[in-house]
Amino acid sequence: MRISWVLFFAFTLSETVVSARVLPAVAEHWKIELRATALNYRGRPDPGIKVFFRQDGPQCGRCHVARGVGGDIGPSLMGFARKYDRAEAIRSVLEPSERLANGYTSVVVARRTGGVMTGLVRHENDTMLEIVDVEGKVHEILKSDIAQRQVSEASIMPDGLVDQLSDEDFRNLIEFLMSLDGPE
Ligand code: HEC
């Protein structure tokens, strides 16, 4: 069976779609504004920690470790600011798919038994593939059940996570990332 990859991606994106995506002009507008505010003005790292971890926020801490706490779906951000500057911190958050962190390329898998799945490969052997999805759920897929498999160019880090943040919250979040310059 031949499957259209356009459909795969439409399906994948529909999972992470945010209101701003529906209207690209609006999406561009908030990105330009957030980028400008965080490039031109300093924030405060301490309130930024709350933005990073709070439940009703973008939930960065669900996927990333920072200051020794957090989930492990994405890379640890400990020492992030030793490797990257402010512009790259901003870009990482606003456009996750522009540069994928080493080892975090995701795959899109279409199953013979139906359904398409996107995630990070956690384990693989001759007969099965284990992937972790954006929710952190682990899926074991038998290789004999895989109709098609493709490396995805998109990050599993959702786009538009910060579109509901105020300028101040965003500046504080970026300042928090820039404070991650030590072992924690
Ligand atoms: C669903 C999980 C998930 C959430 C939620 C998430 N991220 Fe990510 N993030 C990832 C993954 C996976 C990567 C690696 C792929 C990539 O580079 O996009 C990543 C990459 C990054 C990077 C680049 C790291 C490096 O070493 O290059 C930064 C910085 C980052 N995320 C910050 C954030 C911030 C800040 C938030 C909250 C606004 C956030 N992430 C929310 C999964 C997530």
What domains does the chain contain, in order, with CATH numbers? Answer: 21-100+157-178 (1.10.760.10)
| Model pTM score | 0.87
pLDDT confidence bin for 180, thresholds 50/70/90:
very high
Residue nearest to atom 23 of ligand 1 (CA): 92
- Work out the angle between the directed axes of helices 86-94 and 167-178 (0-180°, nearest 10): 120
Instruction: Enumerate the H helices of the chain as residue ranges.
Output: 5-16, 19-22, 24-40, 45-53, 80-83, 86-94, 167-178
| 150 CA distance to ligand 1 middle (Å) | 21
Say if ligand 1 is within 6 A of residue 132 CB. no
Checking if the pLDDT of 1 tops 70, the result is no
User: Mean of the pLDDT values across residues 149-178?
Assistant: 96
| 74 CA distance to ligand 1 middle (Å) | 6
Query: Per-residue pLDDT tens for 100-154?
Result: 999 999 999 999 999 999 999 999 999 999 999 999 999 999 999 999 999 999 9
